[in-house]
Amino acid sequence: MKLYEYEAKSIASKYGIPVPRGYLASSPGEVADACKKLGEVAMKSQILVGRRGLAGGIKFAKTPNEAYEVAKQLLGSIIRGEKVEKLLVEEKICIEKEYYLSITIDRAEKRIIYLVSKMGGVEIEELVKQHPEALLKIPVDPLLGYRPYMSRIAAKFLEIPKGHWKELHNIMNAMYKIMIDYDADLVEFNPLAWKCGGGLIALDAKITIDDNSLFKHPEFLEKAHRELSELEKLAKSIGFSYVELDGDIGIICNGAGLTMATMDLVAYYGGKPANFLDIGGGASKERVRKAVKILLEHPRVKVLLINIFGGITRCDEVAKGIIEALEETQSKKPIIIRLLGTNEEEGRRILESRGLQVFTEADDAVKKAVEITKSINNS
């Protein structure tokens, strides 16, 4: 679960990490009032996606009137697919240098590591690809946890004056404590800035909490689904395993393995999956109807691909659910179906009597779905 910047900074501040003075605002008036208290300000859109600055999600203002007008433009706007409902209004900080500092889990090495770089403000994925030499990794022994030598190594790498090494020690020690106390898999300050006149301050903060640990953190448990799209929320309420993707071929399968394999096939043949939707084993007609309806009404889906391997899932039940969804939505979107298994012949008869194309081999169905999608995109 990702935390908003203001939530992450609140935690950081509680652990003694320096952050700019600021106020959370949800109206232009509140933004103007904050500007009166802080002077020149940065107004930062509170959304859960990265690169908001490049998308216009961070603005500056020198006066309350200017802040008010800028806030009117930001609040309610859509930035990288998310609606801006709150702004973090902070004092503008004079900075000389920007660093990158995080603590996360190196899953390949199965251990916690600190990541340190002089190149602050750069996305970590971009940094690793383009400037791997600029990234320092400091492993943490899980039996010992944070140790002061780690901050000394980081301080030398960042060329921080020796008189300020204790500041970095306090920050890195606090980051480790946050990770353990909150079951976080990422605590990141990007940038961690060197202020004009000296001193470190976290200009931006990101914390993500392991979803499996949310039962231990009731203050966040009720917010756990806020990252989901409206369709993801709907699918979750019905009980589907559903993940929103950015393609245009809708995918419905029974079983997570089959669903992932189908997505791989779509990508292999040059298509882009719009989603992951697993209806599970033994899906009833009603369950299939709801799944098909969700994707037929999905604005980005151009072709629906259904791949069913019937064991405890009966192919005739699947077929009836598809037909009911079509009748309910009156959708004209192409549907490509692969059926194999229990009551396959009856399921095939039901679907073909309505003019739907049914395949036995998954490869053939996927190829057809990708072919139709490409034809629609080129028309």
Residues recognised as catalytic: 100, 188
- CA nearest to 350, candidates 375, 314, 297: 314
Please say whether the beta carbons of 275 and 251 come within 8 A.
yes
**Start-to-end C-alpha separation, the chain:** 40
Q: Are strands 22-25 and 87-91 parallel, antiparallel or unpaired?
A: antiparallel
- Euclidean distance between CA atoms 25 and 45, whole angstroms: 10
Please say whether the beta carbons of 91 and 41 come within 8 A.
yes
Half-sphere exposure of residue 267: CA atoms within 13 angstroms, side-chain side: 13
- CA nearest to 142, candidates 102, 182, 184, 176: 176
The residues, any chain, with a CB within 8 Å of residue 370's CB and separated by 6 or more, are 249, 266, 269, 270, 271
The residues, any chain, with a CB within 8 Å of residue 63's CB and separated by 6 or more, are 35
Q: What is the residue whose two structure tokens read 């004009």?
A: 196
∠ CA 75-56-90 to the nearest 5 degrees? Answer: 65
Q: 69 to each of 21, 32, 56, 129, 198, how far by Cα in Å?
A: 21, 9, 15, 39, 33
